[in-house]
Amino acid sequence: MVEIPEHLRKRAEEARAKAEAAKAAQAGGAAGGGEAVSEAQQQAASKIPPHLLERSKAARAQAAGDATAAGGGEAAAGGGGVAVAAPPAAPDSVPATGPGGHTQRLLTVVKSGSIQDVKSKPQDKVHVWPHLLVVEFVASLFITAFTLIFSIFVNAPLLELANYNQTPNPSKAPWYFLGLQELLTMFHPMVAGVTIPGIGLLALMLAPYIDRNPSKKPEDRKFAISLMTVHLMFWAVLVIIGSFFRGPGFNFVFPWQAGLFFEL
């Protein structure tokens, strides 16, 4: 149900009060001496546009004329019947009112803009080509150019040539493999190198099919955010332990006591 605006409700109440006052004045005039309410007072009380009042009066008069003509024809066909003519409509009569004394027409009370939604709803979907792929291609070109220019002016932190006769102690993998090397110190190589990483990758691949919520709000994607948070925190903790808490012989040490055994 459409809610009527406050200003329209006030206007309707004022019109209703004026209509009741006009009816009371007409009743008092008829009882006192048959005085009719003037047309200007009726228009002021009803607030109906004058052209609509004229059209209503003309239609009422035409209907009364048709009824009179029909009654005369029946009398002529009967050969002696008495023709009863319908009483003509009073030109200055108060127009018919609706329930509760309302005299406003629907189009003058409810505007079309208040019940019609003409605003187009924005679409949050775009095509992959060209909207997405063009942006990704430009971003890849920018990163490639930045890496090239950066490598020209900044030397990589490389060590001296490796001596295959002398293995450094501790011997650590690059930082992105330190989590896997840390798992090798705790489990069997089959478990640490195949089973655990395989389970993690399988869980990440199945996540979009398990959580099919299309919402983009973090509070609505608790499953996906929890799964990714556990994955990142698990791997980050292993990398931090392998980088800063492993010393000679890959033994567990405290960096504030034995120092750092980590190089880029």
Q: What is the pLDDT of residue 32?
A: 54
Kindly provide the residue ranges of all beta strands, DSSP E only, lying in 19-95, ordered along the sequence.
none
Chain centre to alpha carbon of residue 174? 48
Q: Who wins on pLDDT, 236 or 72? A: 236
Q: How far is it, in rounded angstroms, from Cα 69 to Cα 75?
A: 10
How is residue 33 annotated by DSSP? T
Encoded amino acid at 152, one letter: I
Instruction: Read off the pLDDT of each residue in 38-64 and give the average, rounded to a whole number.
Output: 71
Instruction: Read off the pLDDT of each residue in 122-148 and give the average, rounded to a whole number.
Output: 90
Q: What is the pLDDT of residue 19?
A: 87
Q: What is the pLDDT of residue 55?
A: 83
pLDDT in tens, 84-114: 444 554 445 555 555 566 665 555 555 555 5
Is it the case that residue 198 has pLDDT exceeding 90? yes
Q: What is the pLDDT of residue 260?
A: 86
The per-residue DSSP string of 238-250 comes to: HHHHHHHSB-GGG
All residues at 6 or more sequence positions from 159 whose CB lies less than 8 Å from its CB, including other chains: 263
Q: Who wins on pLDDT, 117 or 153? A: 153
Is it the case that residue 227 has pLDDT exceeding 70? yes
Instruction: Read off the pLDDT of each residue in 156-185 and give the average, rounded to a whole number.
Output: 86
Q: What is the pLDDT of residue 10?
A: 85
Q: How confident is the model at residue 217 (pLDDT cuts 50, 70, 90)?
A: confident
Q: How far is it, in rounded angstroms, from Cα 165 to Cα 167?
A: 7
Backbone angle region of 249, left / alpha / beta, with phi > 0 → left and psi within -120 to 50 → alpha? left
Q: How far is it, in rounded angstroms, from Cα 68 to Cα 246?
A: 114
Work out the mean pLDDT of the chain and round it to a whole number.
Answer: 78
Is it the case that residue 240 has pLDDT exceeding 60? yes
Q: Who wins on pLDDT, 97 or 16? A: 16
Q: What is the pLDDT of residue 35?
A: 46
Backbone angles phi, psi at 220, to 5 degrees: -95, -10
Q: What is the pLDDT of residue 45?
A: 53
Question: Which residues make beta-bridge pairs with 246?
Answer: 252
Q: What is the pLDDT of residue 116?
A: 59
Question: Which residues make beta-bridge pairs with 83?
Answer: none
Burial class (CB within 10 angstroms; exposed 0-12, middle 13-18, buried 19+) of 57: middle
- The residue to which tokens 């509070």 are assigned: 219
Q: Who wins on pLDDT, 174 or 143? A: 143
Q: How far is it, in rounded angstroms, from Cα 182 to Cα 172?
A: 10
Q: How far is it, in rounded angstroms, from Cα 213 to Cα 182?
A: 35
Q: How far is it, in rounded angstroms, from Cα 249 to Cα 258?
A: 13
Percent of the chain predicted with pLDDT > 70:
70
Is it the case that residue 254 has pLDDT exceeding 80? yes
